[in-house]
Amino acid sequence: MRKPKDYRAVIGNTEYLPIVIGGMGVDVSTSAMVLEAARLGCIGHLSDAMVPALCDRHFGTTFTKNKAERYHRLQAEEPAQVHVPQFNPQEYRLAQMQYISNTVEKKQGTGGVFVNCMEKLQIGSAREILEVRLRASLDAGVDGITLSAGLHGNSMKMMSEHPRFRDAKIGIIVSSWRALRLFLRSASRVDRMPDYIVVEGPLAGGHLGFGDDWTQYVLKEIVADVMNNLEQEGLKIPVIPAGGIFDAEDTMFFLEMGAAAVQVATRFTVAKESGLTDTAKQTFFEAEENDVFVAPVSPTGYPIRLLRSSPCLNSNIAPQCIPLGYAMDSKGRCQYVDAYNATGISESGKKLPVVEKMCLCYHIGRYDTWTCGASVVRLKETAERDSRGIYQQPTTEQIIQEYLGERTAEVKERQERRMCVAQERGV
């Protein structure tokens, strides 16, 4: 019987094992996690969300401080003018290159270091900074760029003059053939089709490419529709399903369906290499069905799946647009700012909780936005508890091995122990 480890994903001219770790921001899919995936012959994604702030945290740079000082200086010099807090494009380029090259330069093995690039991060100057992020990622030597959270109608053109445009792997995340068709039209204008397509279903974690009707969609049906339409168009582009793929059995289902690989993330949120805090990881392990929901609280405008206990919800933190501002548009508008300003004051003079939106910049950077896939409720099946009742964190390598079908005996033993415990408790 074939197992996932017997398959290979051919992306461009490179073969990988068929496991792709999705980009989890901010700094949840850490450099250490991505390097492990690459070492093992798989693909790992860095997320490029809030890169200047991450550089300040990890490397001691002052990109966010410089942005704030620049804004305050402009306000003092021209108080009658309305100024939008913006990063200096050259500084943003330096941050992007430093963050990505720090991982690329350490890569060992035959796998790939990719970066996930969200179009929806407007950062006060959406088009200009998006181009900086894309081109700087190529400059940093990344193996591949996955375009996400948007249609990316201009992204291929932005990169088209870069010397690595046709060498680096470039793919896109979509949730429908309709969205993919629009992207393919823009790609055809620069004569550069994507090297792969990630088809993300409604059970994925974080921001979703669906509306309120997300429950009406099924990943395998979307994947089949995309594959059929690609075949009709005469396009042989590898398809990578994502969202709700929990184990080797799920992986085999899509590989036998004709997928090149699968993209997975939720199981890696609790890996030792994950950037989440230990407290958050234990909360993920303990999650039940009613602890997870999809809500319209993100200032990006996309629905987002997260845990109800996320500290980011019902917070009253003041907007962090001046040093951060990743969801602020070029006119200085942010949905969280609007929600914050519309929220009243308590009798004691304190700001009431902001219910409608969350400050994504502040909370996601502090690991307080507990985004997760629907399968988070099954994480407890994948780990043992110690004598204190604390779930033990698996390594990235162990999780990858399970997806590849290499630890079947251990998985079976773990399942049998869980069944015995459940029977003893009368569950």
Q: Enter the DSSP assignment of 6.
A: G
pLDDT at 284 over 90: yes
pLDDT confidence of 347, banded at 50, 70, 90?
Answer: very high
Q: Which domains does the chain have, with CATH numbers?
A: 4-277+396-425 (3.20.20.70)
pLDDT at 416 over 80: no
Q: 385: which 2 tokens?
A: 């508890």
Neighbours of 413 (CB within 10 A): 11
pLDDT reported for residue 419: 60
> Beta partners for 239?
197
Name residue 11's amino acid: I
φ/ψ of 57, rounded to 5, equals -70, -45
pLDDT at 260 over 90: yes
**pLDDT by residue (tens digit) across 380-391?**
999 999 999 999
> How much is the pTM?
0.94
On the 0-12 / 13-18 / 19+ scale of CB atoms within 10 A, 25 is buried
DSSP string, 148-194: ESS--TTHHHHHTTSTTTTTSEEEEEESSHHHHHHHHHHHHTTT---
- 426 vs 85, residue with greater confidence: 85
pLDDT reported for residue 425: 57
pLDDT at 422 over 90: no
**pLDDT by residue (tens digit) across 230-254?**
999 999 999 999 999 999 999 999 9
What span, in angstroms and rounded, lies between the C-alpha atoms of 90 and 133?
A: 10
Average pLDDT over the chain reads 94
pLDDT at 408 over 80: no
pLDDT at 203 over 90: yes
Tell me what the mean pLDDT of segment 135-139 comes to: 98
pLDDT confidence of 101, banded at 50, 70, 90?
Answer: very high
pLDDT reported for residue 356: 96
pLDDT at 219 over 90: yes
pLDDT reported for residue 126: 86
User: Would you say how long the chain is, in residues?
Assistant: 427
pLDDT at 363 over 90: yes
pLDDT reported for residue 426: 59
What torsion do the CA atoms of 246, 249, 254, 260 make, to the nearest 10 degrees? 90
Tell me what the mean pLDDT of segment 205-225 comes to: 94
pLDDT confidence of 423, banded at 50, 70, 90?
Answer: low
Tell me what the mean pLDDT of segment 62-77 comes to: 95
| Residue 138 · residue 114 · CB < 8 Å | no
DSSP string, 57-104: HHH---HHHHHHHHHHHHHHH-TTS-------HHHHHHHHHHHHHHHH
pLDDT reported for residue 81: 87
Output the CA–CA distances (angstroms, integers) from residue 259 to 4, 11, 52, 67, in the order listed: 11, 12, 35, 44
On the 0-12 / 13-18 / 19+ scale of CB atoms within 10 A, 84 is middle
Q: How many CA atoms lie within 13 A of 189 on its CB side?
A: 12
> Beta partners for 304?
207, 295
pLDDT reported for residue 196: 98
What span, in angstroms and rounded, lies between the C-alpha atoms of 292 and 315?
A: 18
Phi-psi region of 110 (alpha: psi -120 to 50; beta: other; left: phi over 0): alpha
Tell me what the mean pLDDT of segment 112-130 comes to: 93
Q: Radius of gyration over alpha carbons of the chain, in Å?
A: 22
pLDDT reported for residue 1: 85
pLDDT confidence of 418, banded at 50, 70, 90?
Answer: low
Hey, CA dihedral for 170, 176, 182, 184, is it positive or negative? positive
pLDDT reported for residue 224: 98
Q: At what angle do helices 396-403 and 31-39 cross, to 10 degrees?
A: 50
What span, in angstroms and rounded, lies between the C-alpha atoms of 10 and 236?
A: 11
Percent of the chain past pLDDT 70, that is, above it, reads 96
pLDDT at 185 over 60: yes
pLDDT reported for residue 409: 67
Q: At 296, which helix (H) or strand (E)?
A: none
Lowest mean pLDDT among 100-104, 144-148, 212-216: 212-216
SS3 category, 369: coil
